[in-house]
Amino acid sequence: MCRLWAQSGTELANKADFIHLSPMAIASILTPELREMLETNDGEGLREFCEAMHPASTAEFLEELQVGETWQVLSHTNPHRQANILQYFPEPQKLALVRGASRDRLARIIESMASDDRVDLVKDLEPGLREDLLPLVAQAEREDIRRLLSYPEDSVGAVMTTDYAWFPENLTAGEALTQLRLQAPDRETIYYVYVLNTDRRLIGVVTLRQLILAKPAAKLGEFMERTVLSVQVDENKEQAAQKLAHYDFIAMPVADSEGRLVGIITHDDVMDVVVQAATEDAHRMGAIGPIEEDYLEAKFRTIWRKRSFWLACLFVGELLTVFALASFDETISAIPALTMFIPLCISTGGNSGSQAATLITRAMALGQVSVSDWLRVLRHELLMGLALGVSLGVLGLGVMSLLPLMGLLDSKILANNDPRMLALVVSQSVSAICLWGTLVGSMLPLGFKRLGVDPGIASSPFVATFVDVTGNIIYFSLATLYLI
Amino acid sequence: MCRLWAQSGTELANKADFIHLSPMAIASILTPELREMLETNDGEGLREFCEAMHPASTAEFLEELQVGETWQVLSHTNPHRQANILQYFPEPQKLALVRGASRDRLARIIESMASDDRVDLVKDLEPGLREDLLPLVAQAEREDIRRLLSYPEDSVGAVMTTDYAWFPENLTAGEALTQLRLQAPDRETIYYVYVLNTDRRLIGVVTLRQLILAKPAAKLGEFMERTVLSVQVDENKEQAAQKLAHYDFIAMPVADSEGRLVGIITHDDVMDVVVQAATEDAHRMGAIGPIEEDYLEAKFRTIWRKRSFWLACLFVGELLTVFALASFDETISAIPALTMFIPLCISTGGNSGSQAATLITRAMALGQVSVSDWLRVLRHELLMGLALGVSLGVLGLGVMSLLPLMGLLDSKILANNDPRMLALVVSQSVSAICLWGTLVGSMLPLGFKRLGVDPGIASSPFVATFVDVTGNIIYFSLATLYLI
């Protein structure tokens, strides 16, 4: 039997990269091998499989086994390792594994998990299973879970962990290192050590780096950093993530309203927050409610509901174009040629509007622009809209003057109007609608934010719908003015 | 003088948060104070200002000073700290400071910078300044800069640092800690220590945590992790960032094609890569070329060029709708009522298409979907498009049957057609165009990716333009079929 993962120096995941096999392909190669090991009761081999690789790789290579088989494999390692591997399974499979495990085993695994991962898992369980399970979990962990569950979904409290290392300020560097050696296996990160006073208030921070650089007899209070940047437990998690990223920290302490340390947020959780926020923003920009699941794993019904809801809203909004056009029915009947340029005119506004909305929404997400900057943004986009409008208007005038040469505008559909007048109407409309779209697209996200609505709602389709209605009015007003 | 920043235990940035002042507001409060300190030559105070806070905060509070004044303040601390503070200035100001510094001072600062930050800075300098400067930089650093400059912009090599800690495997944990104490100030991260053989090939990794937990006499080779996940120096940086995030690492080693360690990428640089990639994707989705600068800081001309280029492309694409509609000129002239529903019909396709394109583009960016999944995606979106199309068609039929009651469709613009037939045409068109938009929106990003083009080009406006042309053809074909 070729035990790929136990070869010293070879690394399955790296190897997979090297030979261009996806983890899924490797999983299907390994699955029969793992089954054979289970049959022949190869305990040592299975333990190696669970412990020799990064837990993320172990989880990937287990994905094709049944729930029962997976637990059989995992039972060859300790609950701490099992917890680590479990957390790397994709969400639906993780839940299937949890549902398929005995309550007792699950309680031990939950006790061994990092405090933030533990809460994420418990949060996703059905209330019934959760209530069955929690009494089996040791008291300290159970209380920790209940406390963390109480924080709102988008607050720092919902992503922080309570596994941090802390010491009083009169400890020496040497004593701190000795204590860390004892505490380390339980702590999420020991790269920052927090110094608390007797009220559990944060008075300093020491990096592990400073700790090993310091003289063993030096007291923490002598060399700790006294200016500790922290985040609030009820602060928005995206905002806190931006802070950690801005300062390039591995972790940041989380304080309650009285300045007491209640947890830490770590770089890996912050990365998840940032990626999730970017996905939500992208989905909103495409006029879909945020979808958390993997594209290929999400439920058809859920996605259909979110997509059809937004399409229906936009459809109803777009109905206003029917009313707008109906009010110009005489102009439309009189000069059929005008119809040919409707999509061209109104799409320009949608495009310039979605550019502006995208720029402003993203700049707000990155903290570069806030609502109070609205006047600066307006001035900027007014100039930009004029510049873009003139550019497109000139392009439009050029194009329109070519159309009669191509025989596209005969005098019948022009109703004997001068094609040059039509060119003037279309190019002026394009300019005006482009400017209008730019203004709408830049102001809508700021307006939404001001009203406490997510600015991402001002997506490209939303802005386009809004501008389509007004765009038609601009176009046909100019047409009626010049041609009728 | 109130020296806010020197109060032990208080932290200016936290305080700013607390009293809801932006760093900019604090900067304007501090600026006169700093000027006074410069005048009175308060060296100790200025040193404290430079050293008591996080360098990011120092940089923020210096933003309102002139270039010369800033350098006067910074000269009160060592080049290493100066380098640290410099790196947190916004890009344009950082360049202004660099241009305003003496060559010699700049050379010392560059030598003190982290190797990746140093290259980023040098990359942005004008070629002339760069050539003046490099000879003044010490040889080792100069060669490091030249080597790192040679990697392509989007490769791992462009974001990695060469300041890593490594040891041979026969060193003991105790010896390694002693050596780290000597090396630490120069190393970007000492939280992972790499174990290399005599060929500089990566054979293991030890975390600082394991190092302090190990018995001092234990050899690294005995307790190091032998399976080291690494990335390739010529690998795409976004892909590498996803790996580091997936495995929750603080840093990952970077190997050349022969497996030799050439650098590391760290969590903070990876965060920048992820945020930058999300911004680029968002900008592409809004049909703007990616803009790297802050919204309010970017040059008007640059933004105008990028925005007008894409608007012009979309305008030219949208011109095809004119040709499409021109080929139905007789139908248009015969039944003016049809014109009223053009925006409604075609916008539906744009909206459903932009939903699909957004979902697929984001799923690809997150590695959930790859080009080889196209058949699964097609099947999924075919079903989804049908479900959405039927939903909107029913909605459309309901709405259309209300319009005659509102007196909107008189027999003149209907050209004596039955309004129920028109309702049938419009609702069928809405269904068909919705399905078509969904298919186009989902397949275009995959197609672009297959052709090696960024899938983000299939933005909402692009998809809408594409679908507008075909949408008009669908609508007027059905109208001609049923009504003429």
B279 touches chain A (CB under 8 A): yes
Closest among A157, A167, A169 to A231, alpha carbons compared: A157
CA atoms within 13 A on the CB side of A319: 17
Q: Return the CATH number of the domain spanning residue range B300-483.
A: 1.10.357.20
ipTM of predicted complex: 0.77
Q: Which residue from B minimizes the CA distance to A8?
A: B226
Does A50 reach chain B within 8 Å, measured CB to CB? Answer: no
Candidates A177, A329, A346; nearest CB to B413: A329
Pairs of residues, one from chain A and one from chain B, whose beta carbons lie less than 8 Å apart: 385
Q: Give the pair of three-digit tokens for residue B136.
A: 């003044």
Assess contact for A109 and A138: CB atoms under 8 A: no
By the CB < 8 Å criterion, does A24 face chain B? Answer: no
Chain A CB contacts of B229 under 8 Å are 11, 13-14, 54
As beta bridge partners, residue B8 has: none
Average of per-residue pLDDT across B380-387: 95
For the stretch A83-128, pLDDT in tens is: 989 988 888 888 889 888 888 888 889 888 888 888 888 888 888 8
Question: Helices H, strands E: what count in chain B?
Answer: 22, 6
Q: Do residue A310 and residue B285 have CB atoms under 8 angstroms apart?
A: no
**Do A4-156 and A164-266 have matching folds?**
no
pLDDT at residue A259, rounded to an integer: 87
Nearest CB among A342, A354, A396 relative to B461 is that of A354
The mean per-residue pLDDT over the stretch B458-474 comes to 91
A74 in contact with chain B, both atoms CB, cutoff 8 A: no
CATH of the domain spanning B164-266: 3.10.580.10
Q: What is the pLDDT of residue A10?
A: 37
Query: What integer best gives the mean pLDDT of chain B?
Result: 87
**pLDDT higher than 70, residue B97:** yes
Which segments of A159-290 are extended strands (E)?
A: 164-167, 189-196, 202-207, 231-232, 251-255, 261-266
Distance of CA B195 to the CA centre of its chain: 33
Close Cβ partners of A88 (under 8 Å, ≥ 6 residues apart): A55, A56, A58, A59, A60
Domains of chain A, residue spans: 4-156, 164-266, 300-483
Task: Please tell me whether residue A214 adopts helix, strand or coil conformation.
Answer: coil
Q: Which fold has domain A4-156?
A: MgtE N-terminal fold (1.25.60)
- Measuring CA to CA, how many Å separate A318 from each of A325, A432, B347, B409? 11, 20, 8, 17
C-alpha dihedral over A154, A158, A164, A170, to 10 degrees?
Answer: 70
SS3 A254: strand
- Look at residue B24 in the predicted model and tell me its pLDDT: 65
* Paired tokens of A192: 């920052």
Would the CB atoms of B278 and A283 count as touching at under 8 Å?
no
Provide the edge-to-edge strand list for the sheet that holds A189-196: A164-167, A189-196, A202-207
Beta bridge mates, A192:
A207
The pair phi, psi for residue A416, each rounded to 5°, is 65, 15
Q: Which of B445, B471, B456, B444 is nearest to B350 (CA)?
A: B471
Residues 245 through 264 of chain B touching chain A, CB cutoff 8 Å: 245-248, 250
Q: Provide DSSP, B140-173.
A: HHHHHHHHHHTS-TTBGGGT-BS-EEEE-TTSBH
Beta strands at B231-232 and B251-255: parallel, antiparallel or unpaired = parallel
Residue A291 near residue B360, CB atoms below 8 Å: no
Output the six-digit token pair for A142: 């159970």
State the amino acid at position B263 in one-letter form: G
Taking the Cβ of residue A312 and every Cβ of chain B, the question of whether any pair is shorter than 8 Å is answered with yes
Q: What's residue A7's pLDDT?
A: 39
Amino acid A90: pLDDT: 84
Contact A241, A270 (CB under 8 A): yes
**Helix (H) or strand (E) segment spanning residue B231:** strand B231-232
Torsions phi, psi for A209 (to 5 deg): -60, -50
> Nearest CA to A412 among A340, A478, A480?
A340
**Is B445 part of the contact surface with chain A (CB cutoff 8 Å)?**
no
Structure tokens at A149: 């569950």
Best A206, A207, A261, A295 member to test B by mutation, with max B CBs in 10 Å, is A295
C-alpha distances out from residue A11 to A49, A57, B229, Å: 12, 10, 7
Between the alpha carbon of residue B364 and those of residues A158, B152, B280, B444, the distances in Å are: 28, 23, 14, 12
Cβ B245–A271 below 8 Å, yes or no? yes
Is B70 part of the contact surface with chain A (CB cutoff 8 Å)? Answer: no
How much is the CA Rg of chain B, to the nearest whole Å? 31
CATH top-level class for B4-158? Answer: mainly alpha
B332 pLDDT band (50/70/90 cuts)? Answer: very high
Higher pLDDT, B342 or B33: B342
Query: Which range, of A278-292, B143-157, B159-173, averages the lowest pLDDT?
Result: A278-292
Question: For residue B2, what pLDDT band results from cuts at 50, 70 and 90?
Answer: very low
- The pLDDT score that the predictor gives to residue B6 is 40
Give me the pLDDT at residue B112, please: 87
Tell me which residues of chain A, numbers 321 to 380, contact chain B at a CB-CB cutoff of 8 Å: 321-323, 325-326, 329, 332-333, 336, 339-344, 346-348, 350-352, 354-355, 357-363, 366, 368-369, 373, 376-377, 380
Question: Which residues of chain A have a CB within 8 Å of the CB of B212?
Answer: 177, 180-181, 184, 208, 212
Q: Which residue has the tokens 């109906």?
A: A326
Mean of pLDDT values over B236-244: 90
Interatomic CA distance for residues B397 and B456, integer angstroms:
34
Which residues in chain A are closer than 8 Å to B359, comparing Cβ atoms? 283, 286, 288, 291, 295
User: What burial class does residue A68 get, using C-beta atoms within 10 Å of its C-beta: 0-12 exposed, 13-18 middle, 19+ buried?
Assistant: exposed
Instruction: Collect the ranges in chain A with pLDDT lower than 50.
Output: 1-20
Going by their DSSP bridges, the two strands A189-196 and A202-207 should be labelled as: antiparallel
CA-CA-CA-CA torsion for B466, B472, B473, B477, nearest 10 degrees?
160
Contacts of B296 in chain A (CB under 8 A): 363, 368-369, 373, 376-377, 380
Q: What are phi and psi of B464, to 5 degrees?
A: -60, -45
pLDDT band per the 50, 70, 90 thresholds, residue B3 = very low
The SS3 assignment for A128 reads helix
Residue B56 to residue A242: CA distance in whole angstroms: 13
Q: Which of A273, A460, A472 to mutate to test the interface with B (most CBs of B within 10 A)?
A: A460
**Residue B365 CB neighbour total at 10 angstroms:** 22
Instruction: Give Rg (Cα) of chain A.
Output: 31
DSSP state string for A316-383: HHHHHHHHHHHTTHHHHHH-GGGGGGHHHHHHHHHHHHHHHHHHHHHHHHTTS--GGGHHHHHHHHHH
A286-320 confidence digits (pLDDT tens) = 777 777 778 877 888 888 998 999 999 999 999 99
State the Cα–Cα distance between residues A148 and A168, nearest whole angstrom: 25
Could you say which of B304, B430, B465 has the minimum Cβ distance to residue A388? B304
Per-residue pLDDT tens over the stretch B261-298: 999 999 988 998 988 888 888 888 877 777 777 887 78
Query: Helix, strand or coil for residue A262?
Result: strand
Which residue, among A89, A57, A53, has the nearest Cα to A71 in the 3D structure? A89
- Alpha helices in B247-373, H assignment, sequence order: 267-285, 300-326, 329-334, 342-365
A329 → closest Cβ in B296, B336, B369: B336
- Which residue, among B12, B223, B460, B474, would best test binding to A if mutated, counting the most A CBs under 10 Å from its CB? B460
Secondary element (H or E) of residue B261: strand B261-266
Put simply, the chain A residues between 412 and 431 with a CB less than 8 A from any chain B CB are 412-413, 430
C-alpha dihedral, B28 to B30 to B32 to B37, nearest 10°: -160
Contact of A169 with chain B, judged by CB distance below 8 Å, is answered with: no
Per-residue confidence (pLDDT) for residue B178, from 0 to 100:
86
Report which of A64, A73, A69 is spatially closest to residue A93, judged by C-alpha positions: A64
